[in-house]
Amino acid sequence: MSQPLQIVIALFPGVTHLDFTGPHQILRRLPGAKVTVASLHGGEIEADGLIFARLPKLSDVEACDVLLVPGGFGATGAMANRDLIAEIRRLADGARYVTSVCTGSLVLGAAGLLKGKRAACHWAWRDQLALFGAIPDLSRVARDGRYITGGGVTAGIDFALTVVAELAGDEMAQSIQLAVEYAPDPPFNAGRPETAPEAVLRRVSEIYGKGMEARRAAAKRAAEAL
């Protein structure tokens, strides 16, 4: 009997839950896949007011085929957590694919995994990838060798379908897409800064701008620590 495909999603405090629950919904439907959601200390993680419990420790995961690091405002702290970064490096070392959603790519960058690689990220943080020697990519899903990275939050579903297609072919990815009825038809064309109305872009940019200098400084410190 063949071994299941091991997919590990690494959580940290302050993670955005849709960054990983979206991909989890898709990846769990991949035949032969075992999806493990783990964190540095195990136990509970709060994400946007939801509690995810009974998580194993990352150190208890021997190895994986696919490593996924989601993002969120907690990515700033995750980049500075040397124990977490060490576990991500360890798991990435033996993985077939190293992946992320949203600002999870910054955490991969802090682990020294994206030097010279094209990578996607949430638009408000994308420029910080360059601090780690990565090449910021505007794509919703970016692929560079064994590295597959998704843009902000909802891009995680597109990202996961891309990963499924890579692992099991287009027909399987399309079958899962149909099963979850993923047929986006948003009421507004405001999902990217290039298409959002100017007033909306200004408002959201101001919200994200609060504390951004401190977050950028933290990313710079993480890059200098490599």
Distance in angstroms (rounded) separating the CA atoms of residues 169 and 154? 22
Q: What is the DSSP string of 83-108?
A: HHHHHHHHHHHH-SEEEEETTHHHHH
The crossing angle, in degrees rounded to 10, of helices 155-168 and 17-27 is 30
Q: Which of 102, 129, 134, 161 is catalytic?
A: 102
3-state SS, residue 31: coil
3-state SS, residue 183: coil
H/E stretch holding 203 reads: helix 198-209
> Helix, strand, coil: what percent of the chain each, to 5?
40, 20, 35
Residue 102 bears catalytic tag: yes
The crossing angle, in degrees rounded to 10, of helices 170-179 and 155-168 is 140
Identity of the amino acid at 73: F
End-to-end alpha carbon distance in the chain: 41
* Catalytic machinery residues: 102
